Structure 1
Amino acid sequence: MNHYEGKAQFQLGEAFYNPKSRVVRDLGVLAALVCKKQQGQLRVLEVMAGSGIRSLRYYLESHADFLWVNEGNYQLNTLLKQNLQNTIPDERYQLTHLDAHRVFFDCFNHRDYYDLVDVDCFGTAAPYLNTMLWATRIDGLMYLTSTDGRTLAGRIPNKSLQAYGAYPRSHPALQEQALRLIIGSVAQQAGTKGLGAEPIFAFFSGKTYRVMFRLTRYTNLTSENYGFLGYCHQCGDYQTINWRKLGKAVCSHDNSAFTVSGAMWLGALHNKEYLSAMKAVAQQLQWQHIVKLLSTMIAEADLPPYFFTLREIGKRGKLDLPQRSLIIQALQNRGYQASATHINPEAIKTNADIHHCIAIVKELTI
């Protein structure tokens, strides 16, 4: 039975495929296409290929010049050969069945660096945070997946300490925290090599976290954008905490001790310029669902590294809430930055604290 996604036609066989994750592959295709336009070439390394759907779409829709398609499970060899040979000329790809780390180090040993390295792993991404850097060229992209949500969200903090070198705690904005733990860990690993890992976008859907990075020549990790997040369980407010003030962090509203998570990335969640280029391509392709998503991500990119859920605002203010859009507009009218967030459809990102949010919502409900 033939399956279709984008311009790709493929067989599934015994390979895993989730059609609901198409939006993730759409974002990857757009980012790769922008890379091709900016750099003039696109060489793709996919180390966990599955059925080969992502490689097919990188070739057909992002116009990849060459693809190294790797899948650790040799039992998918026949399926992958069939899917790839039906679409991609033999000289434009190679197919292997190796451990991902071996592929990365083979690239490094032969100075065979790629413009896009796709690591669509299942479970924790921790084993690949460092080794994927070895296969990526400077200014190239890395697309990383993690499905280990319990660890990233602070449910198992000791495991997160082992995997990501960070200690997360649970609070209402934990999904964004998970994305920032991944970003911070990759940026820290890049920093050990004197390089930087800039987030192009960080995306959460369902129980899966995905981040697209750009490898930069100079480290982008500083004490200002890599630090800690404090949450006050008494009042519901957040505060970023840098390393120098870590021992003095208390809530300014009630002097309560913060529940502190980190270290994590505190800088921009997305690169607005790159997302704008992706959005322009999506508009040309008439991918309206992606245009809407990218618009939200552009709006939220530079806002503080947390969000307030409507439930939290309503509960703490003992309020019946109006529509989210009305709250956002009211915050903006008061001079605050405010936006919806793609991470939670029932949450707001803003530079106003929760007390001002509650006060403004009270005025709306009078």
Structure 2
Amino acid sequence: MPSPATGWAGAVITGAGATPYDPHYCEGAAQLRLGPGFFRPDSRPARDLGVLLARRLAAQGTLRVLDLMAGCGVRSLRYGLEAGAAAVWANDADPDRLPLLRLNLEPLADRLELRLSALTAQKLLADCLLRDQRFELVDLDAFGCPTALLPLALEAVRFGGVLYLASSDGRSPTGHDRVSALRSLGAAARAHPASWELALRLQLGVVARAAWCLGRGLQPLLNFSDGRTFRTAVQVSRSPAALEEDQLGLLAHCHGCGDQQVQSLRRLRGWQACRCSAPPPLAVSGPLWIGPLQDPDWLGELSALATAGATDGASGGAAEAPVAEQSRRLLAQLVADDGEGARVWPMAQIARQLPAGTLRLRPLLERLRRAGWSASVSGVMPGQLRSSAPWEVVLELAATGDGRLDR
């Protein structure tokens, strides 16, 4: 292939006179044509983390992948080339995408069991249910909200396997379209300063309820967002863990003083008074997931895989390919914040409550930890504090320091 010129966000543009078989884009070990459909090069961190999840699953045994909305096939191709998948089923509902999928996934034909289809996700998943066919990894990279597909998608995941899903519906779960949130999520979504995290917790709450209705349990492995797409990976178990249902609850926020409160639905009671002398009505969101967002053990293993690359023993002879630096930074943020505790405040909001109006983040974290409270920088949204401390304590310890606002 002639020496390519590097384009925007890692795209590799072929030179003049390129044939239809020349790659237009390189990512990891994959070279492929993008075609005319929707594609976001800057979503590579999400694809990198999907590959790392797949490598982790391949280390445990046979890896079969179902890519429900494959698009140009970049995720399917990388699962086959980099994660050591034994079988990949790439599906896209648009039949006009099949020739492009077939062309791009041709390198997998001699490596693994490959299947291509052009079915709606509902039809494909229903067929898998009828034939009792399940996969170690189900990748559901949806446009809009994937709630309607969740029961069938969960049925398609083997016990111990992973459902990796995305939603591009940003208005409903962030409190900007409350009616739509009721329809699509079965939950109230109110405006909240940690809107990305609110959306992820609402999404997790829907997944949990769908899993419990099937008698299954789940363990969140990682949750993250770029503000446009909300991504969740959960491990599906045969049955719920003890007290797993305690992780479903409500989150209340006072737009007057900034206080936040969390309650489990299982132990629901009245809300406590906030700091306002004449408090406005609390903005209550939920039901949503109030437990941890990340699994430290899984994230530790994914970080090790990202650093070392795939090995023959871990990924069945898959090609070693680098993980983007942006993906490494994302993993580091998630490792540093397990998402334990749903109360998260922007540092700017805390600073507005102080006489000086300025605040440094790291000293506040240290003071909270010395006082016996958990405290971390949010790995979901930049410039936000997660802590188990009561709001009064956060403000009191924040007021003991000085300096400039550190985001």
Using the size of structure 1 for normalisation, the TM-score is 0.93
Q: Distance in 2 between matches of 1:121 and 1:8?
A: 22
Contact 2:257 2:274 in 1 (8 A): no
RCO comparison, higher one (Cα < 8 Å, 6+): 2
Alpha-carbon distance in 1 for matches of 2:327, 2:33: 26
Greater helix share, structure number? 1
**Aligned with 2:286 (options 235, 251, 262):** 262
1:252 deviates by 4.8
The reply to whether residue 337 of structure 1 matches residue 337 of structure 2 is no
User: What SS class does the counterpart of residue 105 from structure 2 fall into?
Assistant: helix
Aligned-pair CA distance for 1:245: 5.7
The one-letter code matched in structure 1 to 2:308 is Q
Query: Residue 105 of structure 1 contacts residue 135 of structure 1 at CA under 8 Å; is this kept in 2?
Result: no
1:160-181 C-alpha deviation (Å, 9 max, x unpaired) = 1111111111121221111011
Once the two structures are superposed, residues 298-329 of structure 1 have per-residue CA deviations (whole angstroms, 9 ceiling, x without a partner) of 33215311311011011122434344333323
The letter of the residue matching 1:242 is S
Match of 1:346 in 2: 383
Equivalent runs, 1:221-260 vs 2, <5 Å: 222-243=244-265, 246=268, 248-254=270-276, 256=279, 257-260=281-284
Bigger radius of gyration among the two: 2
Give the number of equivalent residue pairs.
Answer: 365
Q: Which residue of 1 aligns with 2:75?
A: 54
Match in the other structure for 1:306: 343
Q: Which amino acid aligns with 1:339?
A: S
Code of the residue aligned with 2:296 in structure 1: it is K
**Alignment pair present for 1:92 and 2:117:** no
Judge which range, 323-332 or 147-156, deviates more: 323-332
Provide the secondary structure at the position in 2 that maps to 1:312: helix
Percent of matched pairs sharing the same residue: 32
2:167 to 126, 143, 146: 146
Structure 2 unmatched runs, 5+: 1-13, 15-23, 310-321
Contact kept in structure 2, 1:231 and 1:238, CA below 8 Å? yes
Q: Once superposed, what is the RMSD of the aligned Cα atoms?
A: 2.0
User: Is the partner of 1:304 in helix, strand or coil?
Assistant: coil
Structure 2 residue 326 is the aligned partner of structure 1 residue 283: no
Corresponding residue to 1:3 among 16, 21, 25: 25
- Structure 1 residues 8, 223: CA separation in 2 closer, same or farther (over 3 Å shift)? closer
Written as runs of structure 1 = structure 2, the 5 A alignment for 1:194-233 is: 194-220=215-241, 222-233=244-255
Whole-Å separation in 1 of the counterparts to 2:44 and 2:266: 43
Pairing 1:24–2:46 present: yes
Q: Residue 93 of structure 1 aligns to a residue in which SS?
A: strand
Q: Does 1:128 align with 2:145?
A: no
- Partner residue, 2:57: 35
The reply to whether residue 271 of structure 1 matches residue 310 of structure 2 is no
Q: Distance in 1 between matches of 2:301 and 2:107?
A: 31
CA distance in 2 between counterparts of 1:79 and 1:92 reads 18
CA contact (8 A) 2:334 2:380 kept: no
* Cα shift at 1:117: 0.5
Look up the SS of the partner of 1:224 in the other structure. Answer: helix
- Farther off after superposition, 243-252 or 191-200: 243-252
**Which string of whole-angstrom CA distances, capped at 9 and with x for unpartnered residues, describes residues 3-50 of structure 1?**
10011000011122111110000111111111111x211100001000
- In structure 1, runs of 5+ residues without a counterpart are none
**CA separation of 1:138 and 1:290: change in aligned 2, threshold 3 A:** same
Asked if structure 2 preserves the Cα contact closer than 8 Å seen for 1:65 and 1:92, the reply is yes
Cα contact 1:229–1:261 (8 A) shared by 2: yes
CA contact (8 A) 1:176 1:306 kept: no
1:364 offset after TM fit, Å?
A: 1.6
Q: What is the match of residue 109 of structure 1?
A: 130
Question: Equivalents in 1 of 2:57, 2:396: separation in Å?
Answer: 45
For the 8 Å contact 2:164–2:232, the answer to whether it is kept is yes
